Amino acid sequence: MIDLFAGAGGLSEGLHTAGFKSLYANEIKIRYSETYAFNHPATIIDSRDIRKVDAKHMRENLGLRRGDLDLIAGGPPCQGFSINAPKRSVDDERNHLFKEYLRFVDEFLPRSVLIENVPGLVSFEGGMTLLAILTALEKHGYQSDVRILYAPHYGVPQSRWRTIIIGMREGQPAHTAFPEPVCQAPIRVNFTSCFEGRNIVALPLTVKLPSFISVKDAIDDLPVLKNGEMGAEIKKYRTKPNNDFQRAMRAGSIGVFNHEAARLSKINLERLAHIPAGGNWTDIPVEILPKGMQRARRSDHTKRYGKVNPDGLASTILTKCDPHWGAYFHYCQDRTFTVREAARIQTFPDTFHFTGSRVEQYEQVGNAVPPLLAAAIGRSLAGVLGKENKGLTRAL
């Protein structure tokens, strides 16, 4: 496979777990590409603007003929499509970077393609951008389909949705390549979930699935930290693994990296003292709320200044764990989530190290595809590609 718009490597990390080998990755942000390179040293990392990369030259450098590659994965930057973006305009040049992705598809002619993006892609410009992507894939010879996947259904302990587009070149219907949910989880849909008259949210087919992974399940074995505590670069685990999730995250790890507590201000510590686990800004006395929130309706901003429920799902991990924007207070320690805790909630293994400043590390984690979600997609896709190989063998 190759990975375009690769970020820090969350998608590649999960696909690698599913058996794919990343030969080449393109990521224009230097710090992101450094993190990718650190964790995937066998992959060629290219931080040039993708619009300046000669796809044919790259294919020839990799020693590939057209049609040799199993998968091109990746996706355009999210911001132009996101339902949370302050400006969602077709004038945003980021909205057209999927054409660069398609240029690589046309040159490499892979057996399958995978594009990931935010749920807002479905409603952007009345669905016309999504339709343009699907139509382009069809014109390039790929049967394509789209689903919105809920990360907790695949073992990710946070409320996070991703739009996934899959295209198959060798006649296999694309809908067969999407993974089935393996966990039950509470759902709240706050975006357009229909496209061309059909619901594209992937839901469990049975109620007999195990329950979701909770925040406590995910991070309770990590070291206790005080507000503002840095400590050693590599820290010892607080306990032995308490469950299969923690065992999986710790496989091969020599200790805990990227685990330092940002320092909360005195006023935020005072606010935090009033919030129970699972509570939020409405538990804080009005007189110590930020001025802008003192006038807010009690039904507004329900996740702001939230202390996560240890037995529930985390809020979507954003590019910074700022309590002003969500439930990022630790459930039993007077601080916000560390980079490692955010990475655990995103399902990065503990052996995955983030480079750069702490601000840059949070950004890399928040912008990533959860590796467990990527692994579920990868296993399903690999199964379909394997069946195609068997069919080709029989035909020969």
Write out the catalytic residue numbers. Answer: 78
Q: Are 91 and 134 in contact (CB under 8 A)?
A: no
Q: Are 309 and 277 in contact (CB under 8 A)?
A: yes
Containing 4, the helix (H) or strand (E) segment is strand 2-4
Residue 72, phi then psi, degrees to nearest 5 = -110, 125
Containing 198, the helix (H) or strand (E) segment is strand 198-199
Q: Are 221 and 241 in contact (CB under 8 A)?
A: yes
The whole-angstrom separation of Cα 145 and Cα 127 is 14
Cross-sheet strand order for the sheet of 2-4: 44-46, 24-26, 2-4, 71-74, 112-117, 161-168, 143-150
The whole-angstrom separation of Cα 301 and Cα 278 is 14
Residue 123, phi then psi, degrees to nearest 5 = -95, -15
